[in-house]
Structure 1
Amino acid sequence: MEPLVDTVIEDGRWEELDLPALATRAAEATLAGLDLRPEGFSLVVMGCDDARIAELNGTFRQKGKPTNVLSWPSEERASDEAGLAPEPPEPGEPEDPEHLGDIAIAYETCAREAAEQGKPVPDHVTHLLVHGILHLLGYDHVDEADADLMEATETRILAGLGVPDPY
């Protein structure tokens, strides 16, 4: 059986936070919170630094500056109607799980934001991972109805993990 989350560490500071454990916990909670079997899915999380995420942000979003988290869904899963949850993907088999996509998360930006917001870094990182995984599942925050749905879903999942409402 393949692991739910394949974690790639490009910046050693992520080892100190145990990014693999945070990412697995966030993925399991997000999928379970949407009534999806975690063993039917996989995703990749890369822990990098601001320079690397700025490069990725420039390449993929034409914004050559650091950001906290980026997501690349393996396929388009968004709902056709604003404010409605996307159709859940079909799980694969444990030996051949459905790949949801890839996430990159930047250490310096996450640590700075957590400090500015007075939050523990692991809680902020968990929030951003749940946020990124929801993007892989078709959730978005482009318009107000979608943003409300995504934030409510994040808040519910995070509450189950003991992480306070980030909003």
Structure 2
Amino acid sequence: MKTTSTRLDLSVQYVCPRAGLPVRADFLRWARAALDGGGSITIRLVENEEGQALNRDYRGKDYATNVLSFPYEYEPRTVGDLVLCPEVVAREAAEQGKTLAAHYAHLTVHGILHLQGWDHEEDEHAEAMENEERRILAALGIADPYA
């Protein structure tokens, strides 16, 4: 009988000022809520320059973005990296009238879903992914990020 581990090995790297940022326990709670099975994931919080360089080099878009996902393996365990840019996250949260914690939770869930193969390139996939995000965030007590 095949058993699938639900263990999550999570590393959080802060390569930017840490003041006001979520702590590892927050990221762990959000990641576990979105993760189907076990995994080995690194979440790296970076300054704009690194976020821009990664987005340019890997996606061909020359600007810092909120979250980047780098999946390496889907099965039997999810293995990958998430890169979050706190300056972008804070700006978006303010513009969208969301709490910073709620926006970090949403982007973490969004990124974890990408690590598991979800995408939003086509309308049908985008709708399914957004609905899954809503479901996970509601279970965490976080309002619909798309409302």
TM-score using structure 1 length? 0.78
Aligned-CA RMSD value: 1.6
Preserved CA contact (<8 Å) 1:4 1:24: no
Q: Are 2:108 and 1:132 aligned?
A: no
Indicate the residue corresponding to 1:10 in structure 2. 15
CA separation in 2, counterparts of 1:106 and 1:147? 22
Equivalences, count? 140
On the 8 A contact 2:71/2:81 being kept in 1, the answer is yes
Match of 1:141, as an amino acid?
H
Q: Deviations over 1:99-140 (max 9, x none)?
A: 520000001100000000111101001100100000000000
- 2:30 is aligned, of 26, 33, 47, to 26
Alignment of 1:114-129 (within 5 A): 114-129=93-108
User: Offset at 1:53?
Assistant: 0.3
Instruction: Give ranges in structure 1 of 5+ residues lacking alignment.
Output: 78-88, 91-97
Equivalent in the alignment of 2:39: 41
Q: Would you say the 8 A contact 2:10–2:40 is kept in 1?
A: yes
Structure number with the higher strand fraction is 2
Taking the aligned partners of 2:56 and 2:125, their CA distance within structure 1 comes to 25
Identity of aligned residues (%): 41
Aligned residue for 2:51, secondary structure, equals helix
Match of 2:63 in 1: 65
Deviation digits for residues 68-104 of structure 1, max 9, x if unmatched?
00000013x5xxxxxxxxxxx32xxxxxxx3520000
Q: Which amino acid is 1:166 matched to?
A: P
Partner AA of 2:28 in structure 1: T
Distance 1:12 1:21 in 2: 18
* TM-score of the aligned structures, taking structure 2 as reference length: 0.88
> Displacement, 1:156?
0.2
Given residue 61 of structure 1, which amino acid in structure 2 is its aligned partner?
A: R
RCO comparison, higher one (Cα < 8 Å, 6+): 1
Give CA deviations for 1:36-61 in whole Å, capped at 9, x if unaligned.
34xx3210100112111001101111
